[in-house]
Chain A
Amino acid sequence: MLRIENLHATVAGKAILNGVSLHVPAGEVHAIMGPNGSGKSTLAYVLAGRPGYAVSEGSATFTSTRHPGLEPGPALLEDGGEETRVPGQARDDEQSADLLALEPHERAAAGLFLGFQYPVEIPGVSMLQFLRESLNSQRRARGEAELSGAEFIRRAKAQAAALGMDSEMLKRPVNVGFSGGEKKRAEMVQMGIMNPRLAILDETDSGLDIDALKSVGAGINRIMRAPDKSVLLITHYQRLLDYVQPDRVHVLSRGRIVRSGGAELAHELEREGYAEAAA
């Protein structure tokens, strides 16, 4: 799904990533942990294509399996949703993309979603309009039919309900007046609506109380746990990993991955701290 080789990146002329290599196969959740300033957010931004984050060396390849005309999916919902997959056809059309050569919106259309650590406020634009135009822009880029207004609203309301968000909030301007926790929940609602192949979630757990953490964790599992989807979970703490079991845990330190292991590595880090575990 995602293969990163020897990735070097600079921000404002300063080297932040110093040779990150990482392979996230389809169907897996990988956690990236590490101390402040280790380059976790930079990695997320480089993969999503944020301007100002310059790649000086290395590559990132994104392979998505997509059957023409089929939605990536499914983001399973109680009501069944309208999305169907045909078993056995998912591998028909494997496409590899040089992620770093794509514009941010092309990466989104290819199936990448970035959950922001600090979701951005956009006054004057309602959440519904923002997401509908975004989703339809992705669909046009993939040669899929646009969703009708009614169909989109149904999908948006179902995702909001599944994440425990009042659907009235979808009528408000994007993230304006949302609390920190509400913004993170709203990011997951957005993820549910976009239904990506690869989600990079940058400290989605920060600012969440314990109930919100549970529902966000359940949301990640519901939306992204599928054989053809992957998650890169960036976090400081073990606690989100209690709800979203990672298949692999990587420790990022000074812009490189210094250790990798199974889910138990997160517990070890929690006990002993990064200094010890990354030594």
Chain B
Amino acid sequence: MTALLTRKLEAYRYADIDALASVWSALAPPERIAIAAQQKLQQVWLPSDEAVQVRRAEIAIAQSGGAHLFVLNTASEYGRVELDITLADDAEFTMFGANIGGGSANLEIVTTVRHVGLRGRSRQSVRSVLGGKAVGTYLGKVEVARGAQQTDAEQSVKAMLLDRGAMANCKPELEIFADDVKCAHGASVGELDADQMFYAMSRGLDPASARALLLEGFIMGLWDDAPDGEAIRTAARNALRAIA
């Protein structure tokens, strides 16, 4: 099966194929979640301790339903989060995700969001903090079907590179077959702000603590609305401390 997986496939172009192969036989098929009309789902995805972690879900959201995911993707070797989302009329999907890694970690969040109904809303925010030679990727495809009018889709991707060898790939992708839609996307890759660093140090923070605090600020806003947000915030803080 893994023989068929190559980096020539768009969804795997930055993947760690060897790492994927090592877990492939034990890999569960994508979790299938059906959200009934008017129903809401909220999930927090925390990482495990495994060196290679792959988590996949296919979520179908019926009319006026909603799915809200909060995802922390961090693994020492390879972490892959794969989402395939379908939205019916008036459905809503939000995903707030972070890739945090150092060393030679390869972390990716790969999403396909299919707007098939009227007035669907989707919002995806991904923040990556990458140190060492880590690679962080967001591949986000938004498909707006013929007739899915008044779709409102938004993608925001930002990455912070801590070291020269770190790399971020951001690829928002739109495929639109309706003419009355709003699809926004933005991406940026940067380093810590020198003015903020000096300000923090002038208040007494040593460089490592100042860096950790600024990175925390960059990430933590993602989980303002997460249920039991302290768990994911603590896990993110620990992941940041490990690389800052």
Residues facing B in A115-140 (CB within 8 A) are: 116, 119-120, 122-125, 129-131, 133-135, 137-138
State whether A131 touches B203 (Cβ < 8 A): yes
The contact string, 1 if C-beta is below 8 Å from chain A, for chain B 177-215, is 000000000000000001110111111111101100110
Q: How far is the CA of A116 from the CA of B205 in the complex (A)?
A: 16
State whether B198 touches A133 (Cβ < 8 A): no
State whether B201 touches A120 (Cβ < 8 A): no
Secondary structure call for the B interface: helix
What is the chain A residue whose CB lies nearest that of B215? A124
Q: How far is the CB of A138 from chain B (nearest CB, A)?
A: 4
Contact stretch, chosen from B50-58, B59-67, B131-139, B218-226 = B218-226
| Given contact pairs A105-B205, A137-B205, A122 touches B200 in the complex (Cβ within 8 A) | yes
| Given contact pairs A133-B213, A137-B209, A122 touches B204 in the complex (Cβ within 8 A) | no
* B194 partner, pick from A51, A108, A134, beta carbons under 8 A: A51
State whether B196 touches A134 (Cβ < 8 A): no
Q: How far is the CA of A120 from the CA of B214 in the complex (A)?
A: 12
* B217 partner, pick from A50, A103, A124, beta carbons under 8 A: A124
| Given contact pairs A51-B198, A120-B195, A137-B209, A130 touches B203 in the complex (Cβ within 8 A) | yes
Q: How far is the CA of A51 from the CA of B197 in the complex (A)?
A: 10
- B contact residues, range: 20 to 34
Q: Taking the complex as formed, is A48 at the interface, i.e. its CB lies under 8 A from any CB of chain B?
A: yes
State whether B220 touches A124 (Cβ < 8 A): yes
Q: How far is the CA of A104 from the CA of B214 in the complex (A)?
A: 17
State whether B217 touches A123 (Cβ < 8 A): yes
State whether B204 touches A135 (Cβ < 8 A): yes
Q: How far is the CA of A125 from the CA of B216 in the complex (A)?
A: 7
- Selected A-B contacts with CB under 8 Å, 11 pairs: A103-B207, A113-B202, A120-B196, A122-B200, A122-B213, A122-B214, A124-B217, A125-B217, A131-B203, A141-B204, A190-B203
Taking Cβ atoms with an 8 Å cutoff, the residues of A that contact B are: 48-51, 103-105, 107-109, 113-114, 116, 119-120, 122-125, 129-131, 133-135, 137-138, 141, 173, 190, 194
